[in-house]
DNA sequence: ACCTAACCGAGACGGTACGTCCTGTCTTCTG
DNA sequence: CAGAAGACAGGACGTACCGTCTCGGTTAGGT
């Protein structure tokens, strides 16, 4: 049984240096170019220190990703659900889909396909925290009768989350503001209380 | 100057042995356990023969994936669009989402996040051939007035394709028949000619 | 500036535990398997405590060797030189050449080839104390005219000490009682006052 | 079961570069400073190539030692045994006891104390080839009645070989020409047909 | 009865070397 | 003469130790 090291013994300087070094390496050459050895060398840290706190380079990169991007988007309160949802979707796109954050998200999600630990960590620490507030608002909207009650909340959420991730990871299609608007429109249409199939 | 190998010289026995060996290795240990060396050894083939015809293990695995799965789903003719779409979605789920094919699809899509050549090959040879017939049927349904005309076809397609891939690749949620039904229902509701947002 | 540790503060329990742990590790896996970390862990002692009192694992192992073997052989008084020499040689063989002590002696002498500090310590604290009484007896025998006077004492001593160490360290040949007898016979023949070359 | 690589496939350039690099590293920093990684880097060779042909750095260094020193000493023919023996002993001292060769011999013999494979290789490929011609000459001298017949040849050989190795490896005493002469004198005295103990 | 200084166990730290694995190229021998 | 076999340079991996360091806790005088 692996002994969990006492986090209070952890050297803050090393931890910071490791995250910074990893960030720089990611910016310079992308995920593939990052290696445990390169991180250690850049950070001026022993290789073993890396392995003491992270099981793999994927874990380090994920922590950097969390460290740099754990800033939203937040759900605006005091607005109606459609407005909230649209604002959230645009915020998500701005923060995570384009630019380096999008590339990191693609690379990490890619690595997670063959790394169950990473997949679990990302699900718990990244994806779920972003779905949770929207789920909450959705369920309130359902109770208020603004959204169909006969849809499982997670299925409804997928209508907005899935297309953005799908274009990012699979189809490579553009995820611009127009696309986000269209997706939100379609989701709201599908979720309208009296909606019926074509 | 790299000489382009003459495809007519390609040995069918070797080609077959390589694909079979790769398939076996995938079944036995998954994508991570496959290496060019292991394929060559298992196939009784020289390493160079592999590199002559494929640039990377991803390319070999993708060819195996194509070889084993290039069998549908097909779009039923002579039925109305909702019926066609639903049947297609269930067919897709059955063939590619669960079982080994789903695992291969996840692994390859994962690898494609850091391998642009693989990403392009998969888009052209796998994803697009599956979207194309549905796009065709959708556009005919739009012309027939059965589906809203004001939606870009690829955006509309995403309503069905995205959720299945999202659960497979990102959320890890179940992709069962109920989910597929729900997604198709919601897509059709969103695409109904008179649909309006919540 | 390195402060010299105060020897009076030395914990006897730790010292004992370290020597015992080292001895056990040597018995279990030989010199190669002993590490400073393993000694500390086995002794229930901090790593730093080891380094406070010994500069290297070789030094610890040598102290264990001294601790366990510093018991002779002794030179019998009141006998003639040939008898003394023969008894000493057999005693040496019994105590140090065979069994674990012989293995330790081999390993330490081996390590001393690339560790001058260890080499010096062994020469002063182990080899010389064993040569000294024999040298003393030899010199008395020379004065008494029983042994040739024209041979440097250390050269004469080598006639007995060298063959046993040579077989132990270099040739791997047997160092049994017959060999010791033969060596002592030859040495005495060479050292006889009237001896002349072949 | 480890597959023995086919020696005919061995790259002569790499082999030469490895031996030369190892020799240089030995000259520069001694045995301790040599590492498999440093050899590979200096030789411009892959690490795996080293491990393909040698099991350890000790094996490489031993091969370098053989390569550089496998040049004698030779036993002069047509002379009487005492003259042959003395010339051989001086030749041995000149070639192997002083200078870098002596240091290498010490380091390798040291390493052999905890490396049985090395010990065996050295015994077979280095020590025995140097003892063999002397044993041969000794046995002829015994048949000719010039040397006592009642001494095992290997015991007799030890009278000359052991003291030189003992001073080199154990006592650190000088191994100069005077010492060699004295040792040869004593050995011959001990081996004279009519020799009797003191 | 309290300081205070050195000791202690524990273990994280920066490093170095290890031996293995895999990649993509090059060479040799064989059917 | 095509291709199986495998050696090659290169480089990342994860592990094992090294010797130093920092952290609290304990012990032992000296006040």
Q: What is the DSSP string of D109-131?
A: HHHHTT-HHHHHHHIIIIIHHHH
The 10s digit of each residue's pLDDT in D87-131 is: 999 999 999 888 899 999 999 999 999 999 999 999 999 999 999
Which of chain D's residues have a Cβ under 8 Å away from the Cβ of C196? 189, 192
Q: Is the CB of C114 under 7 A from strand F?
A: no
* D vs C contact (3+ beta-carbon pairs below 8 A): yes
**Of all nucleotides in the shown strands, which has a C1' nearest the CA of A9?**
E12
Determine the residue of chain B that is closest to A141 in CA distance.
B198
- What 3-state class would DSSP assign to B149? coil
Interface mutation target, options D32, D108, D143, D158, chain C, most CBs of C under 10 Å? D158
Contact list, A165 vs chain B (CB under 8 Å): 162, 165-166, 169-170
With a 7 Å cutoff on the CB, does B47 touch strand E?
yes
Residues of B in contact with A162 (CB under 8 A): 158, 162-163, 165-167, 170
- Pairwise CA distance, residues B34 & B20, whole Å: 13
Predicted confidence (pLDDT) per residue in A138-186, tens digit: 999 999 999 999 999 999 999 999 999 999 999 999 999 999 999 999 9
Domains of chain C and CATH, by start: 12-68 (1.10.10.60), 81-191 (1.10.357.10)
State whether A170 and B169 contact (CB < 8 Å): yes
**Average per-residue pLDDT in chain D?**
92
Q: Are residues D192 and C170, on separate chains, in Cβ contact within 8 Å?
A: no
Residue B132: the pLDDT is 94
Percent of chain B, pLDDT > 70? 93
Distance CA A175, CA A95 (A): 12
- Residue B183: pLDDT above 90? yes
pLDDT in tens, D17-69: 999 999 999 999 999 999 999 999 999 999 999 999 999 999 999 999 999 88
Window D8-67, strand F contacts by Cβ < 7 Å? 9-11, 13-15, 17, 43-49, 52-53
Convert the pLDDT of each residue in D181-197 to its tens digit.
Answer: 999 999 999 999 876 66
Query: What does pTM read for this prediction?
Result: 0.89
What's the pLDDT at A11? 87
**Residues contacting residue C159 through CB under 8 Å, at least 6 positions apart:** C183, C186, C187, C190, C191, D159, D163, D186
With 50 as the cut, is the pLDDT of residue B3 above it?
Answer: no
CA-nearest of C71, C75, C121, C114 to C96 is C71
Closest partner residue to C170 (CB to CB) among D82, D127, D198 is: D127
Q: Which of D82, D110, D189 sits opposite C190 (nearest CB)?
A: D189
Residue D80: DSSP 8-state: -
Q: Enumerate the residues of chain C whose CB falls inside 8 A of the CB of residue D196.
A: 189, 192
What is the structure's pLDDT at B7?
57
């Amino acid at each position: 049984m692996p002994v969990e090291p006492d986090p209070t013994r952890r050297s803050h300087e090393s931890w910071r240096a490791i995250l910074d070094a990893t960030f720089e390496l990611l910016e310079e050459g992308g995920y593939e170019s990052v290696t445990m050895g390169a991180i250690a060398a850049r950070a001026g840290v022993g290789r073993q220190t890396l392995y003491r706190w992270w099981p793999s380079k994927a874990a380090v990169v994920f922590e950097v990703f969390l460290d740099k991007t754990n800033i939203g988007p937040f759900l605006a309160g005091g607005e109606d659900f459609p407005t909230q949802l649209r604002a959230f979707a645009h915020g998500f796109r701005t923060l995570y889909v384009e630019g380096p954050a999008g590339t990191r998200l693609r690379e990490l999600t890619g690595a997670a396909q063959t790394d169950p630990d990473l997949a679990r960590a990302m699900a718990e620490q990244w994806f779920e925290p972003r779905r949770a507030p929207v789920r909450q608002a959705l369920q309130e909207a359902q109770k208020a009768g603004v959204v169909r009650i006969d849809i499982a909340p997670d299925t409804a959420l997928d209508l907005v989350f899935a297309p953005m991730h799908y274009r990012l990871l699979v189809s490579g299609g553009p995820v611009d503001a127009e696309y986000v608007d269209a997706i939100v429109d379609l989701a709201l249409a599908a979720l309208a209380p009296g909606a019926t199939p074509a």
